[in-house]
Amino acid sequence: MNETHWIFIGLLPVMVKSNLCLLHSLKESECLFDAGGYFLVKGMEKVFIAQELRCLRRLWISDRPCWTISFMSEMKRRRIYIKLVESTRSEDFSGSKIISISFLYATMPVWLLFFALGISSDKEAFDVIDMQDCDASVINTISATIKESDELCGGFRKSDKARQYVDELVKSSKFPPVESFDDYIAKFLFPGISGNRNKALFLGYMVKCLLMAFTGKRKCDNKDDFRNKRLDLPGELLGRELRAHLRQAERRMVKAIQRDLNSDRELQDLERYIDASIVTNGLNRAFSTGSWCHPYKRAERCSGIVATLRRTNPLQMMSDLRKTRQRVAYAGKAGDARYPNPSYWGKLCFMSTPDGENCGLVKNLAVTSIVSSKVVQPLIESFISCGMNKLNDIPTEHIQRMDKIFLNGNWLGSCSDSASFVFRLRCMRRSSLIDPQVEIKRDKHYKEVRLFSDAGRILRPLLVVENLNKIRKPKGRSFSFQELMQQEIIEFIGVEEEEDIQCAWGIRHLFESEGAISSYTHCELDPSFILGLSCGIIPFANHNFARRVLYQSEKHSQQAIGYSTSNPRIRVDTLSHQLYYPQRPLFKTVIADCLGRSDCTTFGRKDDFTRPEYFNGQNAIVAVNVHQGFNQEDSLVMNRASLERGMFRTEHLRSYKADVENKDGTKRLKLKEKIDFGKTESKRGRVDNLDDDGLPYIGASLQTNDIVIGKVSESGEDHSIKLKHTEKGMVQKVLLSANDEGKNFAVVTLRQH
């Protein structure tokens, strides 16, 4: 009888407002501006910054330091490099280029691996590579490779001899595999492709791409192009860190069990061997220090992945949730990484980037951009119904005449009519027969169809021009975004697929001239949607100096004071500012209209304006004038009557937190004395406003150098917290609670006008 027994292995932080969070459906006393998407760790709000990584699901062609095409993977043993290197053994081809492959830390001519995979003749290997219109350099390179293979292994054209040579070479490498030849070929050589014949076909395709790039018929890959990048979101980042700590817990558990077995002890329950603190403390340490696992190198740690969520205003909070970061060493030259790339259009904001060392490396997503999730829907049957033939069903001599079909970098099959295949597949995507996040790219020049369903791709919605007539008939009716998706009026387009479309600048531009509709396939929802959130709410941004737009989007708009939260009386933020009378701006943009929220109310009624919480500051009348004949440089003369009526009046909230522990931040007790909250006759400051429990009463007025939280040890030594010389205010809230470790802590919030 099979029984399920649950074992506790650690605590995992839950994203706020996610399906697992208790606040997912709770609205009472919660901030209306809070969209979630962050984590609460030890009382701090932590947010992940999406990390830009190289896409591992495509081939990479580079000409530095030598011509190389690489098949990348997170595991080093699955990485494959094919290079053009100089011949060293053959005297007839001395100085000529040969095609060499690095596989499982072993380097060999690629011709040997072809025959080890079952290729029976040189002609069949030529057919697999399929180099049409070969010039003299390609023929010379292939001839030199064959001669080099013959020098290394004389009878390599016999499959058994080639397999034996490759097996001996791999087994004598730095990290030899323990599996047999067939097992490690299936496990480490193109693991997403099954069968030695199919692996040989993909290997020939890699050689063809390398030779085409060498002869100038194919471009090298641009590492800054977003088609070659993926974004790691909190799920991937947290999962990678969790797997590292689980491996550590597993190793420690195995050692403990092995220790009991070696000493002939009776084995205990499995819970006794699992240390749950490894996972819990490891994740807490990663959130606190900002040091996280490297995506490819286990021994290295990365910084800049987690940041503290800023809440000066809701706009700043939303901007922090939509940031991306490219990991580049600041000390070295970043090259073109800091400059905008054409692939950013509509996906990333060209204007919103910080100044200093992070300029161009930290970016913001455009308003309508989304990041794709992994498609779990089976897609192979849909591809077959659209006209794809599987690779196993096609003879080798017919494969090269057909268009290749790739899914996430793996060669699935081919089709004879790629235009019809792509048209049917896009119709299925628009009608939701397949996931709308599947990206479809037809490359007519290279006779390829590249499909992507992996996570981390940036997509953006566009209008389908041929279906716009569906929304003309019901006049006066409004449509939701999901209804427009269901009626095939809007579809998501990726970076690579956008090269196949002709996109109009906007609805007005589309209908301005007669006959323009027939020349466009898609249309922008609005031209301003290419901007980020903080940049898109700037009025008349197209009439301003670009540097001023940058300052406004990255600094001024995110530092403006307004409403930071809708429940400031409940929250205990370390530092918070509230403007008493924020005003609506005189002008608004289209993006400001899109930020509307139907459940927002102002003074008890439904608000017909857009997102009042995004309106920070006040509309002040500024007069530029010579004051009494003197030039006032870098100064303002304020109207006293306006200030007395409440202009720019703010409320400043500051919270002070103290834990019950054996230290006060400046000194440690030699003896482990217990410290608790309490009133003491302190000489460091006044304690008149403290109760017997060491905490001030609500409404107490505290001045500079007063004790705000009283702490005393068993011996009577004072460990209290006092206000600095610039701090004062009235006690608004006193909170006493306990943390996850069971230790009491107190929070006192002071209000100052």
Between 662 and 499, the more confident residue is: 499
Summarised one tens digit per residue, pLDDT across range 671-692 is 456 777 777 776 678 888 888 8
What's the rounded mean pLDDT across residues 185-207?
92
| Structural domain total, the chain | 2
485 found inside a domain: no
**Residue 225 corresponds to which tokens in the numbers above?**
């192009």
479: confidence class by pLDDT, cuts 50, 70, 90: confident
Supply the CATH number for residue 658's domain. 2.40.50.150
Please give the Cα distance from 368 to 348 (Å, whole number). Answer: 10
pLDDT at residue 405, as a whole number = 96
Identify the domain boundary among 214, 236, 270: 214
Summarised one tens digit per residue, pLDDT across range 231-262 is 999 999 999 999 999 999 999 999 999 999 99
671 found inside a domain: yes
122 found inside a domain: yes
pLDDT at residue 427, as a whole number = 95
Please give the Cα distance from 690 to 722 (Å, whole number). Answer: 12
* pTM score, whole prediction: 0.88
Q: Which DSSP string do the residues of 177-195 spell out, in sequence order?
A: -SS-HHHHHHHHSSTTS-S
**End-to-end CA separation in angstroms for the chain:** 69
List beta partners, residue 1. Answer: none
Residue 704 to residues 104, 678, 687, Cα–Cα distance (Å): 68, 20, 12
685 found inside a domain: yes
What letter represents residue 337's amino acid?
A
Residue 659 lies in domain: 650-752
606: confidence class by pLDDT, cuts 50, 70, 90: very low
Please give the Cα distance from 200 to 191 (Å, whole number). Answer: 13
What's the rounded mean pLDDT across residues 525-554?
90
Instruction: Please say whether the beta carbons of 192 and 75 come within 8 A.
Output: no
pLDDT at residue 42, as a whole number = 86
What's the rounded mean pLDDT across residues 360-380?
93
What's the rounded mean pLDDT across residues 282-309?
88
List beta partners, residue 590. Answer: none
Instruction: Please say whether the beta carbons of 82 and 100 come within 8 A.
Output: yes
What's the rounded mean pLDDT across residues 730-743?
86
Instruction: Please say whether the beta carbons of 656 and 581 come within 8 A.
Output: no
Summarised one tens digit per residue, pLDDT across range 136-156 is 888 889 999 998 898 888 888
Q: How many degrees, rounded to 5, is the angle at CA 27 between CA 24 and CA 29?
A: 125
79 found inside a domain: yes
Q: To which residue do tokens 């790219």 refer? A: 441
Residue 662 has pLDDT above 70, yes or no: no
What's the rounded mean pLDDT across residues 491-517?
86
**Residue 183 corresponds to which tokens in the numbers above?**
């097992």
What's the rounded mean pLDDT across residues 76-85?
88
Q: Which DSSP string do the residues of 11-41 spell out, in sequence order?
A: -----TTSTTSTTSS--TTS-TT-----EEE
731 found inside a domain: yes
576 found inside a domain: no
**Residue 158 corresponds to which tokens in the numbers above?**
């016999």
Supply the CATH number for residue 87's domain. 3.90.1110.10
Residue 473 to residues 469, 477, 522, Cα–Cα distance (Å): 7, 9, 20
pLDDT at residue 737, as a whole number = 86
Mean pLDDT of the chain: 86
Instruction: Please say whether the beta carbons of 144 and 132 come within 8 A.
Output: no
Q: How many degrees, rounded to 5, is the angle at CA 395 between CA 394 and CA 398?
A: 90
664: confidence class by pLDDT, cuts 50, 70, 90: very low
What's the rounded mean pLDDT across residues 573-579?
89
Residue 331 has pLDDT above 70, yes or no: no
80 found inside a domain: yes
pLDDT at residue 212, as a whole number = 92
What's the rounded mean pLDDT across residues 90-101?
79
Identify the domain boundary among 214, 244, 278: 214
Chain CA centroid to CA 603, Å: 39
pLDDT at residue 665, as a whole number = 43
382: confidence class by pLDDT, cuts 50, 70, 90: very high
Q: How many residues does the chain have?
A: 753
Most confident of 72-76, 79-83, 562-566: 79-83
Identify the domain boundary among 171, 198, 214: 214
